Structure 1
Amino acid sequence: MSQMRPATNMPSARKTTKNEPTTLEHERALAAAYQARFIGAVDEVGRGALAGPITVGITVIDIHEVREFPELRDSKLLRPETREELVPEVRDWAVGYGVGHASSEEIDDLGVTAALRLAGTRAIEHCAIAPEAILLDGSYDWLTAPEPDLFDVLADDREPVGVHVPVATIIKGDMTCQAIAGASILAKVERDGIMSELSKKYPEFGWDINKGYATNTHRAAIETLGPCDYHRKSWNLTSSGHRAQGEGTTKEAK
């Protein structure tokens, strides 16, 4: 594809309702803007949790061959069993897909933005076909590789992170874009599975229900028992009045 400057953002989607079908409108617009055939779509899960990984999902669609899939929705709006049923369908629908993670230790070491970029890079590495341009849910591009500095040049053994293709952000993309919604489903199902498995080892934290997010019961358990190896120890884990950088909702995870 031709070399063009990276996109910054797509036009904000019109107001939508929870029951309104997703479309391929933004995917087709991005493909047209960059004469691209293979469009990636990325979403993250777990950014605001107190424990567990940050997880990033990606789908890659062939804009020449893709079929409409309006049943895809933001993963948070779907019942858990519906999300799980959709996973194999999303994998069949996309020409490439992947899920990547950054551990709680990596989040502590790198910070939220760099951890997201690391998880996103790992997700893309799983794709059978690499994206030529990417739609990213949200308003901030955390996926594009930063400009290298002297430390980057000297640290040749470090894991390369970030992408070098156009990235376009779109607010609430998981509610409007079919490919982003598909990525959100892949990411949420995989991360929820991880947290459910970890809850068997640490049942006192209620991760089978809260998935590591900052609920009152989760914070109370940390206050009583202290954090475990899967908590983000650089975060404020016990005070609901002060949120650490990147921390999200205190509601129970859906």
Structure 2
Amino acid sequence: MSTPDFNLEGALIAQGLTRIAGVDEVGRGPLAGPVTAAAVVLDPAKIPEGLNDSKMLTARRREALLEVIMDSAEVSIAHASVEEIDAINILRASHLAMERAVAGLPRPPEHVLVDGNLIPRGLTIPATAIVKGDARCLSIAAASIVAKITRDAIMWDLAQQFPGYGWETNAGYPSKSHRLALQDLGVTPHHRRSFKPVHNILYQHKNVSD
């Protein structure tokens, strides 16, 4: 299996650009919690060793790499809330989080490498969409690590406030135990009401009370 490299960034640097940001989001699929994005500008002279798509790394390895990324790169993290997800749909909310992450970098990048097949429409900086970018591009891989660890920590905190849904382990994704908890415990303020399993439970409860 191939690992991400710096070739895409290198090609842009060869064109005279110096600040290339990779951006990725985490949390499109969960039934609960925000969608989180990170933008990372790597220093070509300080690329962390062993960088890879966050899904290919153990939790311990991700944590170790996060520390190195935060020390050696420019990083910005941003979110779109459950309310925004329900109002504008998950794809647009994911793009909004990405736009916010890029905008939050200490200095504007000259080009953005975006994970996926679409460029967020609010990006005003030249950008390239990279399908499976977290497995191909080191800047996006770094962003995937930052976004995942950040969002997992948010869901762990929310799990302490709303126990029983298993968010500390499922991060809000629709695991069997999470779906059963929705039926038994009901919908929390952190559930995405526009997502079908949550919407259906609210509709069932409405019909029962009517």
TM-score interval (norm. to shorter): 0.7 to 0.9
**Structure 1 runs not aligned, ≥5 long:** 1-16, 146-162, 241-254
Q: Which residue of 1 aligns with 2:5?
A: 23
Distance across 2 between alignment mates of 1:31 and 1:48: 34
Pairwise mapping of residues 106-145 of structure 1 onto structure 2 (< 5 A)? 106-141=84-119, 143-145=120-122
Distance across 1 between alignment mates of 2:181 and 2:117: 34
AA aligned to 1:104 is: V
Q: Which residue of 2 aligns with 1:214?
A: 174
1:193-229 residue CA offsets vs partner (Å, 9 max, x unmatched): 0000110111111001100001111111112222100
Distance across 2 between alignment mates of 1:29 and 1:172: 18
1:49 and 2:30 correspond: yes
Deviation of the 1:188 alpha carbon: 0.4
TM-score when normalising by structure 1: 0.73
Contact 2:85 2:93 in 1 (8 A): yes
1:233 and 2:196 correspond: no
AA aligned to 1:233 is: R
Contact 2:115 2:130 in 1 (8 A): yes
Deviation of the 1:164 alpha carbon: 0.8
Distance across 1 between alignment mates of 2:3 and 2:95: 29
Q: Which residue of 2 aligns with 1:60?
A: 41
Distance across 1 between alignment mates of 2:12 and 2:192: 36
Q: Which residue of 2 aligns with 1:246?
A: none
1:66 partner SS: helix
TM-score when normalising by structure 2: 0.88
Name the one with the larger helix percent.
2
AA aligned to 1:91 is: M
Pairwise mapping of residues 102-251 of structure 1 onto structure 2 (< 5 A)? 102-141=80-119, 143-145=120-122, 163-237=123-197
Contact 2:40 2:140 in 1 (8 A): yes
Distance across 2 between alignment mates of 1:36 and 1:178: 17
Deviation of the 1:104 alpha carbon: 0.8
Contact 2:80 2:97 in 1 (8 A): yes
1:38 and 2:16 correspond: no
Structure 1 residue ranges (4+ consecutive) displaced by more than 4 angstroms after TM superposition: none
Range that drifts further, 50-59 or 103-112: 103-112
1:79 and 2:37 correspond: no
1:101 partner SS: strand
AA aligned to 2:110 is: E
AA aligned to 1:144 is: R
Distance across 2 between alignment mates of 1:204 and 1:25: 45
AA aligned to 1:140 is: L
**Structure 2 runs not aligned, ≥5 long:** 201-210
Distance across 1 between alignment mates of 2:105 and 2:67: 15
Distance across 1 between alignment mates of 2:4 and 2:191: 35
Identity of counterpart residues, as a percentage? 39
Distance across 1 between alignment mates of 2:199 and 2:191: 14
2:197 partner SS: coil
Distance 1:210 1:43, change over 3 A: same
AA aligned to 1:22 is: P
Figure out how many residues of one structure are paired with residues of the other and give that number.
200
Distance across 2 between alignment mates of 1:42 and 1:110: 20
Instruction: Name the Cα RMSD after superposition.
Output: 1.9
1:178-203 residue CA offsets vs partner (Å, 9 max, x unmatched): 11111001100000000001101111
